[in-house]
A and B are shown apart, each in its own frame.
Chain A
Amino acid sequence: MARIGLIDYGAGNFSSVRNALDYLRLEVIELRNRAHFETATHLILPGVGAFASAMRRLEQLNLVDELKEQVLVRKKPFLGICVGMQVLASLGREFKETLGLGFIEGTVDKIDGEGHGLRLPHVGWNELNLIRSSPLFARMNGVPTFYFVHSYHLLPKERSVIVATCEYGTEVVSVVEKDNIYGVQFHPEKSQHDGLQLLKNFAVM
């Protein structure tokens, strides 16, 4: 049985993710320090807000090395949501240049909205273009549609990690996958049926 470690590092959507996992009757442990990572079978890093403050809080809580151990060495399934996905990158450029976890080579840059006459943040429901299959999208009907709210996006160096994109003037990388590491730019906890199904799919990995 999955025992999902939900990392509580002050992210705004922590309660929302918790509510969704509770609704799915999944076993959840809230992780606030290094102590209980060992007992989790899966890890979820929620996130809303800015790249730099997310990394700062992970560092203040001493979680960066623990995450590297659990995800890169122990190979536990890991899901990063929104900024929790963005910090997988090597470098973020929101407000100032900040080093990320570096699990996925790439940078996080502002969406080119003005060049396309688009409003930012990119907020609302958008359809995904699935580039390759992934267990995250099992048992979904029709075109998966998810709720996004962000102004920055992850630009991976290797296109092979991209599972799905959406279109907002430009291509927005929406899902990345590399071995046991998954990242979604949208908010599954706020995307009704498809979102809950995605979380359920993650929990059975």
Chain B
Amino acid sequence: MTLKSRIIPVVLLRNGVVVQSKGFKRYQRLGNPTTIVRRLSNWLADELIYLDISSQQIYDLGRDDLNFPNRRSILEILQDVAKHCFMPLTFGGGIRTFDDVLARTRAGADKVVVNTQALNVPSFVDVCAKEFGSQCIVVSIDALRGANGSWEVYAQGGKVPTGRHPAEWAAEVESRGAGEILLNSIDRDGSGKGYDIALNRAVVGAVKIPVIACGGVGEWAHLAQGIIEGGASAVAAANIFHYTENSVYEAKKYLCERGLNVRKPTLGI
């Protein structure tokens, strides 16, 4: 089989600025929304997940010294980002309506991530999959491991418990037409301790659609664990890709050297 395991940087946008996240609570500013994408595209990332985690609808960068306009709407930012992105672009955050999905795909997103709206109105997944195709609809699941060792799905950016188990919820959204699952571990987010492998295995075993592991990567070995032990079709991470020079290249090199089936490390478009 020659299908490659995908390595996916995640970019988190908060009120117009790219940020680092820890535990879905603390955020550190990293920089402007398009230069980071251009860099990741040049480093030949396999795909990009771009999540708008703004709590208010404010996208002013507050910087007039940068040589580009201060963008005010998320769609304008997306259009800018898409112009530099010759890799698949998955866009999420605040998607509540059919028109939200339409606007984002027209602005250049190849896939959209839905999370809270699917939890609130599960038939939203059916409606979107039917019109845009399953391949366009990625359902994101934010899971927190409780004191008893089991997991619970949280809505609204990790704030509201839903009483759902991530494996059951994944199976339900698959049956409703979701094309992929983006699986986040809230407690591993920003920890650098590696993926919650047991969580990944539980969800991978419950569905036949691809699962993207996310949350907790602190070294390249964690990506290998996500693929080999977690069974993920794709491995995603945010912070590590922003803080390491030539990060995507280094990640691919590490995985290639260990015999994993990923795209060969090269640089430059």
The interface size bin for chain A is 35 or more
Contact B3 A12 (CB under 8 A): no
A103 within 8 A of B: no
Given contacts A16-B82, A48-B133, A125-B4, contact A120 B87 (CB under 8 A): no
Give the secondary structure class of A's interface: mixed
* Residue of A16, A113, A126 with highest tally of chain B CB at under 10 A: A16
Of the 9-residue stretches B12-20, B103-111, B165-173, B236-244, which lies at the interface with chain A?
A: B103-111
Partner of B134 from the list A15, A22, A121 (CB cut-off 8 Å) is: A121
Contact residues of A between 151 and 205, Cβ < 8 Å to B: 151, 166-169, 187, 189-193, 195-196
Chain B hits for A145, CB < 8 A: 4, 263
Partner of A192 from the list B132, B208, B269 (CB cut-off 8 Å) is: B269
The interface size bin for chain B is 35 or more
Chain B hits for A147, CB < 8 A: 46-47, 87-88
B222 within 8 A of A: no
Contact B1 A169 (CB under 8 A): yes
A19 to B109, CA, bound (A): 12
Give the secondary structure class of B's interface: loop
* Residue of A14, A49, A142 with highest tally of chain B CB at under 10 A: A49
Chain B hits for A114, CB < 8 A: 208
Query: In the complex, what's the smallest C-beta–C-beta distance from A95 to chain B, in angstroms?
Result: 9
A119 within 8 A of B: yes
Chain A hits for B86, CB < 8 A: 19-20, 23, 189-192, 195-196
A29 within 8 A of B: no
Ordered by A's residue number, 17 sampled pairs between the chains whose C-beta atoms are within 8 Å are A16-B110, A19-B86, A23-B86, A50-B133, A113-B208, A123-B179, A123-B180, A124-B4, A124-B6, A126-B2, A126-B4, A147-B87, A150-B135, A167-B1, A169-B1, A193-B269, A196-B269
Q: Which residues of B contact A (CB under 8 A)?
A: 1-6, 41, 44, 46-47, 79, 82-83, 85-89, 105-108, 110-111, 131-136, 179-180, 208-210, 233-234, 263-264, 268-269
The list of the 6 closest CB pairs from A to B, nearest first, reads: A49-B133, A125-B4, A12-B105, A149-B135, A15-B108, A127-B2
Q: Which residues of A contact B (CB under 8 A)?
A: 12-16, 19-20, 22-23, 48-50, 53, 113-114, 118-127, 142, 145, 147-151, 166-169, 187, 189-193, 195-196
